[in-house]
Amino acid sequence: MKILLLEDNERLNKTIVKRLEAKGYKVDSFIDGEKACEAVDNGYTCFILDINVPSIDGIEILKRIREFNMDTPVIIISSTVELDVIRSSYNFGCNDYLKKPFFIDELEIKIEKLCHFDKEVVDISPTCKFFFKESILNVDGKAEHLSRKERLLLNILLSHRGKVVSFDTIQALVWEGNFASIDSIRSLVRRLRKKIPLDCIETAVDVGYLFRNKEYCFES
């Protein structure tokens, strides 16, 4: 799981990074809004944005993210208590708001809830498991080799399980903002389907794909 963190308080920034990396997440951290804005296309699973930061504020970056990506969770963290600012955050598409000061545990809970990582291991079938943090597919007790794009796609489909993931979202997160044709996306899905023992990646015609496992219902 790859997270973008924008927080200009260097001490808090380092504390958050340390805790999240200890949980197994990959974190790209920024203290400057302009540099964070330049990186938003790099395939993140979650964004954590402070509002009052140098160069470009968190609300403007939130708006930039929502121009091309409506699905990826965005958490706003801020010390402001102004209702208009909080309302704007939600109006522009933030998924949750955390007021400073806060316990890092609160942030971890929100990340896990929004990204559906309440389970570290998903049982795709009795003989097939996917380990979220390590992005490893285990089939019949053996680690199945997945390419980088295959790992990212499976991670995203499972994170949004039961919901359609659009072609645009797949392009933004798996190809990290670079162009990908529909044929390229379909080819990647076909390769991933061959490595999973059940037919659980469904096609939403002309829209995208969703992961649905009716038999096992993601129980672990």
Give how far the C-alpha of residue 183 lies from the chain's centroid of Cα atoms, to the nearest Å: 23
Residues 155 and 175 in one domain: yes
Number of independent structural domains in the chain: 2
Contact 127, 197 (CB under 8 A): yes
Structure-block tokens of residue 25: 């997440």
Give how far the C-alpha of residue 39 lies from the chain's centroid of Cα atoms, to the nearest Å: 14
Domain of 128, in residue numbers: 121-211
Residues 94 and 35 in one domain: yes
- Amino acid at residue number 93: G
Structure-block tokens of residue 216: 């096992």
Domain CATH for 190: 1.10.10.10
Residues 20 and 102 in one domain: yes
Tens of each residue's pLDDT in the chain, 220 residues:
789 999 999 999 999 999 898 877 889 999 999 999 999 988 888 999 999 999 999 999 999 998 888 778 999 998 877 788 888 888 889 999 998 888 888 898 888 878 765 556 778 888 888 887 677 889 888 888 888 889 888 888 887 778 888 898 888 778 866 788 999 999 999 999 998 878 889 999 999 999 886 554 333 3
Residues 106 and 7 in one domain: yes
In a domain, 99, yes or no: yes
Task: Enumerate the β-bridge partners of residue 121.
Answer: 131
206 burial (CB, 10 Å; 0-12 / 13-18 / 19+) is: exposed
Residues 143 and 176 in one domain: yes
Residues 106 and 90 in one domain: yes
Last residue of a domain, one of 92, 114, 136: 114
Q: Where are the alpha helices (DSSP H) in 125-220?
A: 148-159, 167-174, 182-195
Last residue of a domain, one of 80, 114, 148: 114
Residues 72 and 174 in one domain: no
Residues 135 and 95 in one domain: no
